Amino acid sequence: MLIDVKFTCPSCGKKHYLTMERDLFERVCDRRQTGEYIQDILKDYSPEEREKFITGYCEECQKEIFGSEE
């Protein structure tokens, strides 16, 4: 079952969403208890999408904070 996970960027305040399978979302939420790494759980997601779960920052703010790969 697909769900929309809502994020509010702590830097700019914009709301953004990420659609994903419910079981993946539950694994992400339980990762501290299970010891799984987010990059292993969400291996098919971009680093920017995974960062949303760690910090909540949107892609634009991530570029400002962490820089760009270009």
Q: What is the pLDDT of residue 70?
A: 55
pLDDT band for position 69 (50/70/90)?
Answer: low
**Domain parsing of the chain, residue ranges:** 2-66
What whole-number distance in Å separates Cα of residue 41 and Cα of residue 66?
23
- What is the pTM (predicted TM-score) of this model? 0.82
The C-alpha angle 29, 30, 32, rounded to 5 degrees, equals 105
pLDDT tens-digit readout, 26-54: 999 999 999 999 999 999 999 999 999 89
- DSSP letters, the chain, are -EEEEEEE-TTT--EEEEEEEHHHHHHHHTHHHH---HHHHTTTS-HHHHHHHHT---HHHHHHHH----
